[in-house]
Amino acid sequence: MLTEAVIAVVVLAVTTALTGSEPGRTEQKARAAAASLPAVDAAPVILELPFDTGGVDGEGVVRLEFEPGRVGDNSVHIYAEDPQGAPYDLPEIKMALTLEAKDIGPLPAAPVNAAPGHWYAGGLQVPMAGDWKVSVTVRTSDIDQVTVHKNVKIG
């Protein structure tokens, strides 16, 4: 009975892991699409989004730099600045992409704090070209936060 219980737990764990992962064909299509792009050194796509959480010291600007800014694997650098242009070390920042025309997303990125006022998220997969809506949630205190949106052309 103990052996059967262990086998059942292992089967359950494997099933859970497999249901949470993308099918192989999805990754193959993304790689094929990225490989079919011309090998061009694209400039990063840069956007600036002003924010105001409404609280004390709740104003500033976030600048996002998508590298290389085209279909496939991208990294995102996020810089936050206060109104005087100094780095703004926010307690929390989140980002997601949505392609509303194709009903794709939101595709969240998990930015990691790299330095005061600077976050980095690597491995952001942009599956197709289009006019993507970028949503950035900025938290300046325990209760003050705002989500700002802006469209950006990727691909």
pLDDT in the model for residue 14:
78
Cα gap 143→146, rounded to integer Å: 10
Domain-by-domain residue ranges, the chain?
1-36, 42-154
Q: What is residue 65's predicted lDDT score, i.e. its pLDDT?
A: 92
Q: How many CB atoms lie within 10 A of CB 115?
A: 10
Beta strands in the chain (DSSP E): 45-52, 59-67, 72-81, 92-99, 104-109, 112-115, 118-126, 130-139, 145-154
- Please compute the mean of the pLDDT values over residues 37-62 and round it to a whole number: 79
CA distances from 90 to 80, 85, 114, 130, 147 (A): 8, 14, 12, 30, 14
Cβ-based neighbours of 37, under 8 Å, separated by 6 or more: 70, 71, 72
Name the CATH code of domain 42-154 (choices 3.10.105.10, 3.40.50.10190, 2.60.40.1930, 1.10.10.10).
Answer: 2.60.40.1930
pLDDT at 55: 80
Q: What is the mean pLDDT of the chain?
A: 84
Higher per-residue pLDDT: 36 or 76: 76
pLDDT of residue 39: 46
Write the pLDDT tens digit of every residue in 71-115.
888 999 999 998 888 999 889 999 999 999 888 889 998 899 999
> How large is the average pLDDT for residues 40-59?
82
Quote the pLDDT of residue 38.
Answer: 47
Cα–Cα nearest to 75, from 65, 90, 83, 63: 65
Arithmetic mean of pLDDT, 106-129: 90
Taking the CA atoms of residue 28, residue 123, residue 68 and residue 70 in that order, the dihedral angle to the nearest 10 degrees is 40
